[in-house]
Amino acid sequence: MITSENKTPISKIGEFKLIETLTKNIKINNSSTIKGVGDDAAVLKYLNNNTLITTDLLVEGIHFNLIYTPLKHLGYKSVIVNLSDLCAMNATPKQITVSIAISKKFCVEDIEELYSGILSACKKYNVDLIGGDTSSSLTGLLISITAIGEAKEEKIVYRNGAKLNDLICVSGNLGAAYMGLQLLEREKVIFADNSKVQPDFLGHEYLLERQLKPEARLDIIKTLETNNIFPTSMIDVSDGLSSEILHICNNSKVGCKLYLDKIPIDITTCNMADEFNIAPEVAALNGGEDYELLFTAPLSDYEKIRKIKDISIIGSITEDSFGKKLLDSKGNQSDIVAQGWNGLTE
């Protein structure tokens, strides 16, 4: 929760000084960054590879709730959601710009906290912060990040390349971020009813981390490259498996068969889903915010993929006419339906 006790109002130091404070620790690590923060525009040099650009907007009250989201985690996550999009193109993230709009309830120390999370993600992924904009807002906090990456043209993976009989694969496990959110929401309600009750998070660290401090699967990109696996299509799981596989199928003009019991779900996700009386598969299919990579690869890569610990094969690509189907262990088929967990907030 945001309090202003013993903190510095932003009005006291003004915009220029705030920017100076936030940018003074920024270091440039990539040789493709010619000029970072401090001019009308940043300058990049990508002379041998293609440049990739993606952008995401995070709005207080829509995408995050500061009652249970530490600002440092929020900063970290706002970078990750962008880097994840670059990974989903098989590209390497190199730079970001960060624009924020802040209302009066935030003090200098709050924004420094947010930036420490942003810079921590930059450091971990070797990404340079090269520019941005700072503005006031009449209500709450807004973060708009644009990420820039590079890839050789022939290595870029789009959503539209899935082919008949391709394997459908996903990294890590799904549904954990969603169950982490449910847990946070539950404790928020309990806390609102009785502020003396302290939140009960013991043993749920993994779910909370998946929700509050996700990672971009750059490691998977590298593993695939090392193993000479070249995905035919790829997308990151931000809106839930159902929504993402439909994007791949619709863009590639193919159908698919997903095996419900092959979807990787962590045991802690199952336990929490059980507590909430939710089927864990529902969290995986519709939960979102896992930032895992969903991709298709040629059937001939089966042996190579099977050996990689953190990748699961969950289905295969069919003719378009087959439709997009989910098969349970009894052989029952149902249509896959996109049910993003939050309408206008992709």
Q: Footprint of a copy of itself on residues 70-109 (CB under 8 A)?
A: 85-86, 88-89, 91, 95, 97, 99-101
Does 135 sit near a copy of itself (CB under 8 A)?
yes
Token pair in block for residue 125: 């992924």
Does 308 sit near a copy of itself (CB under 8 A)?
no
Burial of 120 (0-12, 13-18, 19+ CB in 10 A): middle
Contact 42, 36 (CB under 8 A): yes
C-alpha 340: how far from chain center: 14
Does 67 sit near a copy of itself (CB under 8 A)?
no
Contact 222, 92 (CB under 8 A): no
Query: Can you tell me the distance from the alpha carbon of 233 to that of 221, in angstroms, rounded to the nearest whole number?
Result: 13
Does 337 sit near a copy of itself (CB under 8 A)?
no
Does 130 sit near a copy of itself (CB under 8 A)?
yes
Within 10 A of 156 (CB to CB), how many other CB atoms are there?
Answer: 16
Give the nearest distance from C-beta 275 to a copy of itself in angstroms.
30
Number of residues counted as binding a copy of itself (CB under 8 A): 72
DSSP state of 67: T
Segment near a copy of itself (CB under 8 A), from 65-73, 144-152, 271-279, 284-292? 144-152
Lay out the site mask for a copy of itself across 191-230 (x = CB under 8 A, - = otherwise).
Answer: ----------------------------------------
Does 236 sit near a copy of itself (CB under 8 A)?
yes
Considering only residues 23 through 62, tell me which ones interact with a copy of itself, judged by CB under 8 A.
34-35, 38-48, 50-62
Token pair in block for residue 276: 């909430």
For residue 299, the one-letter residue type is: L
| 99 backbone dihedrals φ, ψ, rounded to 5° | -110, 135
Q: Identify the residue among 75, 132, 231, 288 touching a copy of itself (CB under 8 A).
A: 132
